[in-house]
């Protein structure tokens, strides 16, 4: 539910990752920001996360049926007057719900199918706003290279490689479907977006 609209925050962390809550809070790490090389690429990452929110992917991960029970019992009416045992019980439901969502966002990841849906949504958004949809492919290629470097360095999976399917498979999907009829290089590479990307994003 996009009660506050979409909101965005940079996380001060080197790990390469970005994620979104079902309520529209979108987080991007400093590591992911550093991986992007243009405003179009940053837009592609954020558009992908907006895709997850718009398609309500996070909500599907809530396994606890007690949340729905609480709503049906009209507990919204009484939420402000809860105390003692009742408050503890509802807080536990809140905790379980939060844990389910965080588990999906940060630990298990969305399924490959939902990642592809979010990629398709991102291409749609980029085209409508006027950004280069191939920026998504470029950023995925760079993520793939970073993942390969991790493997070769003998590191354990971390960040996006734990929660996302191989970038290469997503690139193939994009090229065979959403980008099939989209001409590459149609966007005028504008000096102004390069300037403002350099002066603002690089300050992180």
Partner 1 sequence: MRTVLLVTLMLVALFVFAVDAGDPLFVQVRDTELRSGPGFLSPIQDRLGFGQELEYVAERSGWMQVMVTETGVTGWVHAAAAKENRATQMQLQGEQTARTVTSREVALAGRGFSENIEGEYGNQNRVDFSRVDELETRRVDPEEIVSFVTEASLREDFLKEAE
Report residue 65 as tokens: 């049926």
Give the CA distances from residue 56 to residues 6, 117, 199, in Å, rounded to whole numbers and listed in that order: 13, 11, 34
The answer to whether 174 and 123 are in contact (CB under 8 A) is yes
Number of residues engaging partner 1 in binding (CB under 8 A): 54
Within the chain, residue ranges assigned H as helices are 30-35, 39-54, 66-72, 84-102, 112-129, 134-152, 160-163, 167-176, 191-200
**How many helices and strands, by DSSP H and E, does the chain display?**
9, 3
One of 14, 103, 111, 129 touching partner 1 (CB under 8 A): 129
Choose between 3 and 154: whose C-beta lies nearer to partner 1. Answer: 3
One of 39, 41, 115, 119 touching partner 1 (CB under 8 A): 39
Verify binding: residue 107, partner 1, rule CB under 8 A: no
One of 17, 18, 32, 51 touching partner 1 (CB under 8 A): 51
**Footprint of partner 1 (CB under 8 A):** 1-10, 23, 25-26, 28, 39, 42-43, 46-47, 50-51, 54, 67, 71, 74, 76-82, 87-88, 90-91, 94-95, 97-98, 121, 124-125, 128-131, 188, 190, 192-193, 196, 200-201
């Amino acid at each position: 539910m996009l009660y506050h609209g979409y909101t965005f925050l940079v996380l001060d962390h080197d790990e390469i990752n970005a994620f979104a809550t079902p309520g529209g809070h979108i987080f991007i790490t400093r590591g992911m920001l550093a991986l992007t090389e243009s405003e179009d690429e940053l837009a592609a990452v954020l558009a992908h996360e907006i895709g997850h929110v718009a398609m309500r992917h996070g909500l599907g991960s809530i396994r606890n049926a007690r949340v729905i029970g609480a709503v049906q019992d009209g507990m919204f009416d009484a939420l402000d007057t809860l105390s003692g045992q009742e408050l503890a019980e509802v807080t536990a439901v809140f905790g379980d719900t939060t844990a389910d969502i965080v588990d999906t966002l940060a630990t298990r990841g969305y399924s490959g199918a939902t990642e592809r849906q979010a990629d398709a949504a991102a291409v749609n958004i980029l085209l409508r706003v006027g950004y280069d949809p191939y920026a998504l492919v470029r950023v995925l290629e760079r993520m793939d290279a970073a993942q390969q470097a991790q493997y070769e360095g003998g590191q354990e999976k971390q960040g996006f490689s734990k929660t996302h399917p191989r970038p290469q498979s997503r690139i193939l999907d994009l090229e065979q479907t959403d980008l099939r009829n989209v001409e590459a290089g149609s966007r005028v590479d504008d000096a102004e977006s390069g300037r403002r990307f350099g002066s603002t994003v690089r300050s992180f």
